[in-house]
Amino acid sequence: MSLITPDLLTRFDVPGPRYTSYPTADRFVEAFGETDYLQALDQRASSAIGKAAPLSLYVHIPFCESLCYYCACNKIITKHKDRAETYLRYLTREVELHTAHLGLGQSVSQLHLGGGTPTFLSDDELRELMHMLRRHFDFVPGGEYSVEVDPRTVDEKRLAVLAELGFNRLSFGVQDFDPAVQKAVHRVQPAQQVFELVAAARRLGFESVNVDLIYGLPLQTPESFERTLAQVNALRPDRIALYAYAHLPERFKPQRRIHAAELPSGGAKVAMLSRSLDAFTEAGYVYIGMDHFALPGDALAVAKRQGRLHRNFQGYSTQADCDLIALGVSSIGRVGATYSQNAKTMEEYCDLLDQGHLPVVRGLALTRDDLIRRAVIMALMCQGQLQFESINLAWLVDFKKYFANELAQLETLQAQGLVQLSDTGIQVSAMGWFFVRGVAMVFDRYLQADRNRTRFSKII
């Protein structure tokens, strides 16, 4: 940590995108709608490559039984379980509208159920959802089929149902094991409960178990988080996702229940991040990048070693540039050179489907410049390096001329030890991984033109 000076910390303690896409979702426009999205679907359906390439599916289940104060997800807090039954009917309509253009039986190699709380659905409702998806899509053997799990909503019997339905990866939302922190964010779940569930998942044969952690929550200290890190290492999940809490109460109403005075300082957050990196790597985890760790044998670590790592709206992924069909309220997808997002409220989502329309309300058709910059940003975010020639050959540009201004900016980062520049490319340093979002931001044309970055979480 001694290499990270107060000056460097101050410079990068600023908001910045997570780059699960480029351009980022805040650049989507309402001028992009259903007609544009249908055109992208039809282009995929008529393309030989599109027909052959497998799809990725994301299904958003927005319901939660209780409110977690830190949460910035699109969710509906409700105790009324009957709402899920209605929602499944609308998801079925949305899928049918997709297959009317794509055709039945499109191959799927990746499925992620997110939320909200997907395990809000009953066992029978989960069965109904998976059977519906399998009627319309062909799930290929060996794919990644994952579901987010609130430990408070499942037991071993429920995990067995998920295994029976074909899920092979679980992601448990832990955030922090400290009881005081859990109480401060309104998410109390005993550590023993999580340990028992992870043991059950291993008995049931799940290929990968992920644990989500958040640093920067109220009442956290470097010392308290050190205890959580030790417990996580004892738990030894296959993957760990470590996120920085973004306190944006003006955007996310639940966060107004968090007392800003109880939040750790920027310096304390950096200490937590630094210690997390050390603790997990000392325990044998591979640092995938930014917020992901994995055991050496996990598919994510293998993809990292082989240079096959990718990044999509769910974070780091082993799936190579799949078109992503997004289903449900507020879901964000990618088809061809377009991004799209569904209506954010249940009322608008259902109303559009009742009228026979796909519920796409905003999105973006990427320009050639967007595509070039996306390739650069994703190479830096995923591989931590970039060869100029690869961009020159793929896009028929002269990298050094095209990005002359950006390369000049990188010279400052090089002087700070975050990157190494050469005649042939860019290499992010080991220390630069603390600030890899800051390196990528140099190539973000929209962000360079718009210095109002408060819409994003902070880099640290």
In this structure, the answer to whether residues 247 and 319 fall within a common structural domain is yes
Determine, yes or no, domain membership for 37: yes
Is the same domain home to 3 and 112?
no
Tell me whether residue 349 is in a domain: no
Q: What is the DSSP string of 211-277?
A: EEEEES-TT--HHHHHHHHHHHHHH--SEEEEEE----TTT-GGGGGS-GGGSPPHHHHHHHHHHHH
pLDDT at 50: 67
316 lies in the same domain as 386: no
DSSP state, 118?
Answer: G
Say if residue 45 is in the same domain as residue 2.
Answer: no
Does the pLDDT at position 6 exceed 60? Answer: no
**SS3 assignment, position 347:** helix
Where does 365-443 have alpha helices with state H?
368-382, 388-395, 399-402, 404-415, 436-441
- 282 and 393 belong to one structural domain: no
Closest to 97 (Cα-Cα) out of 28, 41, 29: 41
What pTM was estimated for this model as a whole? 0.90
Residues 63 and 3 in one domain: no
Into how many domains does the chain fold? 2
Q: For residue 210, what is the enclosing H or E element?
A: strand 208-215
Which structural domain range is residue 387 located in?
A: 1-23+368-450
Contact assessment for residue 179 and residue 149, using Cβ atoms and an 8 Å cutoff: no
In a domain, 318, yes or no: yes
CATH assignment of the domain containing 377: 1.10.10.920
In which element (H, E) is residue 340 found?
strand 338-342
- pLDDT one-digit tens code per residue, 89-121: 999 999 999 999 999 999 999 999 998 899 999
Give the tens place of pLDDT for each residue, 28-46: 999 999 999 999 999 999 9
302, 327, 352 — which closes off a domain?
327
Least confident of 1-10, 17-26, 262-271, 292-301: 1-10
Quickly state the pLDDT bin for 311 (edges 50, 70, 90). Answer: confident
User: Do residue 54 and residue 149 come from a single domain?
Assistant: yes
Same domain, 59 and 188: yes
Helix or strand run (H / E) with residue 140:
strand 137-149
Q: What does pLDDT average to over the chain?
A: 90
Residue 358 lies in a domain: no
For residues 44 and 1, state if they share a domain: no
Does the pLDDT of residue 459 top 70, yes or no?
A: no
Clarify whether residues 375 and 283 are in a common domain. no
Q: What six digits make up the tokens of 21? A: 């896409």
Beta strand 292-294 pairing with 63-64: unpaired
Q: Is residue 231 part of a domain?
A: yes
Sign of the Cα pseudo-torsion (449, 452, 455, 460, in order): positive
Classify strands 286-289 and 292-294 as parallel, antiparallel or unpaired.
antiparallel
In a domain, 410, yes or no: yes
Final residue before a domain boundary, out of 276, 310, 327? 327
Mean pLDDT along residues 119-137: 96
**Hey, CA dihedral for 403, 405, 406, 412, is it positive or negative?**
positive
In a domain, residue 135? The reply is yes
- For the cut 90, the answer to whether the pLDDT of residue 5 exceeds it is no
pLDDT band (50, 70, 90) for residue 304: confident
Are residue 258 and residue 171 in the same domain, yes or no? yes
**Residue 267 covered by a domain:** yes
Q: What CATH number corresponds to the domain at position 231?
A: 3.80.30.20
Do 57 and 46 fall into the same domain?
yes
Confidence of residue 1 (pLDDT cuts 50, 70, 90): very low
